[in-house]
Amino acid sequence: MTLDYLIIGAGPAGLQLAALLEADGRRDYLVLEAADRPGAFFTRYPRHRQLISINKIWTGSEDPEFNLRADWNSLLSDDPELLFKHYSRRYFPAADDFVRYLADFAARTGARVRYDTRVTRVARDGDGFTVAAGGQTFAARRVVVATGVSQLYVPPIEGVELAERYDTVSVDPEDFTNQRVLIIGKGNSGFETADALVATAAVIHVAGPDSIRLAWQTHYVGHLRAVNNNFLDTYQLKSQNAVLDGTIERIERRDGGGYRIDFRYARTVEKLRQLEYDRVILATGFRFDASIFDASARPRLVINDRFPEQTAAYESVNVPGLYFAGTLTQQRDFRKATSGFIHGFRYGVRALHRILGARHHDTPWPAAPVEATPDAIADAIIARINRTSALWQQFAVLGDVVTVDGDTASYLTEVPVAYLRDGGLGTVPLALVTTLEYGPDHDTVDPFDIRVPRIAENDASAAHDASYLHPIVRVYRGGEVVAEHHLAENLENHWDLPAVHQQPLALFLKGVLADAG
């Protein structure tokens, strides 16, 4: 039997796609999972067992779509019992609660998962694939890889094999009592580890070649989160800890125990320095494991070979029929948007599901008719802005699209903007694309510095420079942007756009429709 889809990995992305296929009534897919349960990654990570994905239960709203803006853990389902708030009340929940949630999600949605079935080889076979797993061989027309970034990224440092690894190092702070500890890596895993050792280690240094990026400034939730940055206080308030900016060039054993580090500072002209520690921990992030692919099916890798390169349809750029779902899709918006995280990629998986339906099952992108008048289109756009979670979470990546062809208009939700630009929706004479976006250079503005002026809300003439999250409507003809309209409103200050925005937007659309004839 040849399956339509073979999904590798029963983490949140694989389960999300399986649930969508089940809801379609499709039975020609299978999920292969190496572990004996879904979400096995979260049984190990994060090592200190607290998630940094928020679980805000009380929003003041009864709208389930709106509430997903503050629920970063739930997968998409029509079952209200499959909301994560029923599994944890904590704002930063425990990883074990999420593991329990994924097990229930898999069971209640009827996801077709075969556990204890590790994939060892993926190869091209004519127009499809053969997949070796668990002592069997499976045939599939298409393969969707939802394995996440499962391997620790090891940077090219001489002697790096001497370091302890984030994925195996002890998480008992008492094991580090009165020791000098170097942590390599300035991301959340590095600072999560450092925060855990503050009370017991004598000295903690967190080192890396790049500047620390704070999530509250960049709006990228993968940058350092406040929940992990207590260590910065201990550095700036002189508590024998430090952040070292520079490059580690060599790690070697020291006579008598411990390690000697060759370190080159980034901010001085100082020569190479040698620093000494009792422990060295590698916390440099994760990468995609491409070892299961033979030469015929090996996807091209990018970003230091950490991610597979993908088209706007989440398909390998060099292996047709090989798709990706989940955190692997962050290659498309690396360190800019939220495709690397559940609250972002759950919508990316739904977009992939729709892309697969359109490409392979003659299922057009879901669309609702809307009256082809400026007022009706403006009302529809504003109504969606007021409640959408997908555009809120996947800012600048997903957009709502109103297609206009003569007297006919249709409203399509949550379309990847790059997919539209690449012609994924076919020939569209006129497309009105709504996205939510931060303004240019928003990640360079200190949001707490009151000396930095901000664009006034409702100042439409200056809205294109606003650093806050606000709606933009762009007009596409032939895949090119020919006009745009900014709604000058800080969406983080309002649940609903004030009525003052309807008339300017309708006036803009009136001119667009008139030009279209």
211/140 same-domain check? no
Condensed to tens digits (0 to 9), the pLDDT of residues 106-119 reads 999 999 999 999 99
Condensed to tens digits (0 to 9), the pLDDT of residues 214-251 reads 988 988 889 999 889 899 999 999 889 999 999 999 99
For residue 192, pLDDT over 70 is answered with: yes
What's the pLDDT at 27? 87
Mean pLDDT of 198-222: 93
What's the pLDDT at 478? 82
**Which two structure tokens, joined as six digits, stand for 234?**
């201990």
Counted domains in the chain: 3
- In a domain, residue 29? The reply is yes
Amino acid at 49: R
376/509 same-domain check? yes
Select from 342, 360, 378 the last residue of a domain: 360
Which is higher by pLDDT, 496 or 255?
Answer: 255
For residue 367, pLDDT over 80 is answered with: yes
454/405 same-domain check? yes
Q: What are phi and psi of 121, to 5 degrees?
A: -160, 135
The whole-chain average pLDDT of the chain stands at: 93
Mean pLDDT of 109-132: 96
140/6 same-domain check? yes
- In a domain, residue 154? The reply is no
For residue 494, pLDDT over 70 is answered with: no
The residues, any chain, with a CB within 8 Å of residue 414's CB and separated by 6 or more, are: 347, 350, 351, 390, 391, 394, 398, 399, 400
Percent of the chain with pLDDT over 70: 98
> By the 8 A CB rule, do 341 and 453 touch?
no
Residue range(s) defining the domain that contains residue 310: 2-149+287-360
311/413 same-domain check? no
Binned at pLDDT 50, 70 and 90, residue 458 comes out as low
Mean pLDDT of 177-205: 96
341/378 same-domain check? no
Give the chain's radius of gyration (CA, Å): 25
164/277 same-domain check? yes
- In a domain, residue 155? The reply is no
276/292 same-domain check? no
Condensed to tens digits (0 to 9), the pLDDT of residues 334-366 reads 989 999 999 999 999 999 999 999 999 999 999
Binned at pLDDT 50, 70 and 90, residue 455 comes out as confident
410/445 same-domain check? yes
DSSP-H helix ranges across 278-337: none
238/312 same-domain check? no
276/315 same-domain check? no
Angle at 191 between CA 189 and CA 194, to 5 degrees: 115
Q: What are phi and psi of 346, to 5 degrees?
A: -60, -35
CATH number at residue 112: 3.50.50.60
Round to whole Å and give the CA distance between 445 and 492: 16
Mean pLDDT of 426-438: 93
Select from 341, 360, 379 the last residue of a domain: 360
- In a domain, residue 295? The reply is yes
DSSP-H helix ranges across 58-201: 64-67, 95-109, 188-197
